[in-house]
């Protein structure tokens, strides 16, 4: 993971704290964008060019940190979040972590603890980014299949043999073999196991089979 493609967002209403955090994080080679309120952060365009995380103060005026986390999750705009607070408690920490936070640090935060937490959060972001890229690829391959090939795929991942597919779809076994080969090629699957893993990983809703062939 390259630091040049990573960005750290900082949201804290204390100007002095925000500037100090920005300087520290930038000195480690990360790009930084800072905001004085949750509202300002929500108005910025979601970052989708690389890895990112959010250093977030809990006690923000207006929309507080936990409420911002909730809004981001509801909008499918979740980021690895490192909460910082001067007034945290166990219940608050548990709530934040259950909602997906990667760390919860008490102010004043030591430089080493914060940089460790940021590195951990960006690793989480990197894994999530890789998963999204893989899923996009799988869905792109799926879109290349014809309706008949999707029917064949449905039966293949259910473990049906060629002869069973012939019975289900009422077409020649030679034709089934051609469709099967095309499915494997378009899905870039080296084996049936690869094919099953890809469709399961992407949770792809396969086309229902014709009612005449339940």
Enter the pTM of the model.
0.70
The predicted structure's pLDDT at residue 158? 84
The predicted structure's pLDDT at residue 214? 34
Secondary structure in 3-state letters for the chain? CCHHHEEEEEECCCHHHHHHHHHHHHHCCCEEEEECCHHHHHHCCCCCCCEEEEEEECCCCCCCHHHHHHHHHHCCCCCCEEEEECCCCHHHHHHHHHCCCCEEEECCCCHHHHHHHHHHHHHHHHHHHHHHHHHHHHHHHHHCCCHHHHHHHHHHHCCCCHHHHHHHHCCCHHHHHHHHHHHHHHCCCCCHHHHHHHHHHCCCCCCCCCCCCC
pLDDT tens-digit readout, 134-189: 888 998 998 999 999 988 888 888 888 888 888 888 888 888 899 899 999 999 99
The predicted structure's pLDDT at residue 205? 56
pLDDT tens-digit readout, 63-88: 999 999 999 999 888 899 999 998 77
The predicted structure's pLDDT at residue 61? 92
The predicted structure's pLDDT at residue 2? 46
- The pLDDT-based confidence of 129 (bands split at 50, 70, 90) is confident
For the residues 10-18, what does the mean pLDDT come to? 95
Provide the mean pLDDT of the chain. 86
pLDDT tens-digit readout, 16-49: 999 999 999 999 999 999 999 999 999 987 776 6
The predicted structure's pLDDT at residue 204? 60
List, in order of start, the domains of the chain with CATH numbers.
3-132 (3.40.50.2300), 144-201 (1.10.10.10)
Longest CA–CA separation in the chain, Å: 74
């Amino acid at each position: 993971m390259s630091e040049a493609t990573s960005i750290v967002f900082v949201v804290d209403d204390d100007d002095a704290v925000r500037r100090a955090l920005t300087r520290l994080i930038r000195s480690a080679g990360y790009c930084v964008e800072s905001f004085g309120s949750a509202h300002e952060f929500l108005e910025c365009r979601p970052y989708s060019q690389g890895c990112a995380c959010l250093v977030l103060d809990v006690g923000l005026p207006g929309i507080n940190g936990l409420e911002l986390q909730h809004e981001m999750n509801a909008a499918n705009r979740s980021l690895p979040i490192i909460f910082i607070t001067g007034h945290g408690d166990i219940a608050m920490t548990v709530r934040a972590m259950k909602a997906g936070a990667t760390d919860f640090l008490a102010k004043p935060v030591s430089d080493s603890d914060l940089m460790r937490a940021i590195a951990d959060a960006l690793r989480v972001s990197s894994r999530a980014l890789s998963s999204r890229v893989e899923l996009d690829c799988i869905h792109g391959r799926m879109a290349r299949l014809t309706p008949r090939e999707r029917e064949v795929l449905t039966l293949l991942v259910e473990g049906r043999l060629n002869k069973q597919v012939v019975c289900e779809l009422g077409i020649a076994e030679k034709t089934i073999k051609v469709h099967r080969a095309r499915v494997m090629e378009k899905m870039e699957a080296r084996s049936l196991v690869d094919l099953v893993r890809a469709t399961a990983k992407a949770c792809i809703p396969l086309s229902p089979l014709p009612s005449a062939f339940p």
